[in-house]
Homo-oligomer: A and B are copies of this chain.
């Protein structure tokens, strides 16, 4: 039997080059949307509703009993209650609640994948990498690893995660995609210490976030399986998919 295909899309601006409506799309925004989504769901949030504008976030927040959160350019957006750090969503705060989240790059990409008719949308981060890889292997469907990047440019941390997934699942897929090989090569060189790799390679997001005092956040977001659930998009929200 032919293996399903796997592609890595390094920027949202390239998503139209891929056969989205015949694929599972893994939305990747390591710093920090998809890390925060995994954490909130792992800690018992009923759902995360990703929205593409601060205004919509505020409006939905008024209609529902929930937390409104999000950032623009790496900081809490004006008018919202919380930001985009996993540490803001411990179990004793978020369990049983709904989180409405808007971020600069990640939620926008998710809505792009939705508009283009993705077969299924899940979110990936190092915090839930095993759940993501296990799911992709079990589904036996075509996959697009979709990196959110930064304002349509490729970034190191999302590419690293795509590379980590490629390294884990590659024997199960047909990979005729240079971007996947580039990402895996990057991951191979970085995997012994992802944080140090980000630092020594001058990752632009490393500088942006450490400028805000967020070293601890970065280290957390680069750690595997601390929130190993599978966020799955259904009925306009991300919920935990049970196996």
Contacts and interface: CB of A to CB of B under 8 A. Distances in A.
Contacts of A3: none
A158 to B, nearest CB: 9
Q: Classify chain A's interface size.
A: 20 to 34
A81 interface: no
Nearest to A9: B153
Given A159-B182, A204-B177, A14 B17 contact: no
A150 interface: yes
Interface stretch (A37-45, A183-191, A212-220, A226-234): A183-191
Nearest to A163: B182
Given A186-B185, A188-B189, A10 B13 contact: no
Given A13-B17, A186-B185, A189-B188, A178 B152 contact: no
A175 interface: yes
A26 to B, nearest CB: 18
A107 to B, nearest CB: 20
A60 B186 CA distance: 44
Given A159-B182, A202-B176, A203-B181, A14 B153 contact: yes
A190 B182 CA distance: 11
Interface string A163-195: 000000000000111110110111011100000
Contacts of A210: none
Interface string A1-32: 00000000011011001000000000000000
A156 B184 CA distance: 12
Contacts of A179: 153-154
Contacts of A185: 185-186, 189-190, 201
Given A13-B17, A150-B178, A189-B189, 5 more contacts: A154-B178, A154-B182, A176-B204, A181-B203, A182-B186
Contacts of A241: none
A151 interface: yes
A84 interface: no
A85 interface: no
A10 B183 CA distance: 13
A10 B10 CA distance: 9
